[in-house]
Amino acid sequence: MSLATITAPTSVIRRPVLPALTGLRAFTATNIVFFHFWNPAWFGPLAPMMDNGYVGVNFFFLLSGFILAYNYADRQAAGEFHPRQFWRTRVSRLYPVYLLGLLISYPILRLEWTHRSHKDFFLGLSLTTIMQQGWSPRLATFWNTPAWTLSCEVAFYLMFPLLLTVKWPRKIRSLLLLLAGLWLLSLVPPSIYMWLRPDGLAPINRMSNTYWLRAVKLTPLPHLPTFAFGIVLSHLNDRLKLSDRTRFWLALGGLSAVTTVLMQGQKAPFLFMHNGLISPLFAIVILGLAGRHAITRFLRFPLFVAIGEASYCLYILHFNLWRWIHVSGLLVRLHLVRFDPWISYFMLEVTAFAAYRLIERPSRNWLQKVLPARA
């Protein structure tokens, strides 16, 4: 396959970028960091929002489906979508930073060796290296805890070319009904779990950690309806002819509703919140931010977009990097302890931005040149 063939220009007009959604990713990823490392005293009245930051993962699954369909549906319709080229693009973006996250987590790997059987250790090592650990509830958080979501994303990417060929409804009413059906389907696994109580847990909260609960929370299939929800939402967005004024009110209402739910999230069943309960609210936000108005201008602020672009690096690196910052005594040696945790949060953001500029972008560009694009 010649380079000219691989880089041949597409006849499909490139769709407008949606930088406001990139800016929102910055806030969502940062709130996930807060969720993992926070103290009520640090955030005062906003503490409940940090305590419910885990719902950001559900948002990212939904947004992933939306953005992929937004960018590739027209190419599929024009016969210019090539699965192998798509997978090459995904691998070249994800794996270099993912590998960096594993390398800096070597001390955690030593702990895994100490605390697991040899069988589980080598299975976890094998699955995690190829981003498949999420299929094992017991090993889903092996080595780099947040990386279980990559198993879900890889599964979604493998299915995406097939999902892209589905003849989705064209009528707005049918699309709305399909969204409702997918939303309800996403709530089936937590409903079954809450009904059967296979682990005997009561009540269930964010610290609960049993086999079947992890299967519902961490394995790919329970989250597939949310990814598909995002794909259908993209088709609905194309059918809706909304004015920017209407999108402003959708964005304002959606963001206000999400904020309210996060502030009151402890009152909702944890497992439902974790697995898609507020997907309809996320959908309203996304539809609202797909326009041009005051809120999107705010979220397009260059700093927010820059952090949003580096949000994957922040997500995949933050968990064990935070541990290293504090176990290493770095802050003590630099006489910065009095500025913690804010200095630690700042260091994570700066490291993520550096990883994006120095690792993710260069390696992605290089891999897209050397990996085969088509059969």
pLDDT digits (tens, 9 = 90+) for 202-220: 888 888 999 999 999 999 9
Rounded Cα distance, 20 and 176, in Å: 24
Q: Quick one: average pLDDT of 338-349?
A: 96
pLDDT digits (tens, 9 = 90+) for 79-116: 999 999 999 999 999 999 999 999 999 999 999 999 99
Contact assessment for residue 210 and residue 201, using Cβ atoms and an 8 Å cutoff = yes
Domain spans in the chain, listed from the N-terminal domain onward: 23-370
pLDDT at 2: 33
Tokens at residue 289, please?
Answer: 């931010």
pLDDT at 4: 34
pLDDT at 5: 33
Contact assessment for residue 275 and residue 58, using Cβ atoms and an 8 Å cutoff = yes
- In this structure, of 178-187, 266-275, 305-314, 364-373, the range with the lowest mean pLDDT score is 364-373
Residues 6+ apart with CB under 8 A from 60: 25, 28, 149
Name the percent of the chain lying above pLDDT 90: 85
pLDDT digits (tens, 9 = 90+) for 155-180: 999 999 999 999 999 999 999 999 99
pLDDT at 267: 80
Confidence of residue 3 (pLDDT cuts 50, 70, 90): very low
Q: Quick one: average pLDDT of 244-254?
A: 98
* Bond into 341 cis (ω within 30): yes
12: three-class secondary structure by DSSP: coil
Mean pLDDT score across all residues of the chain: 93
Q: Quick one: average pLDDT of 239-258?
A: 97
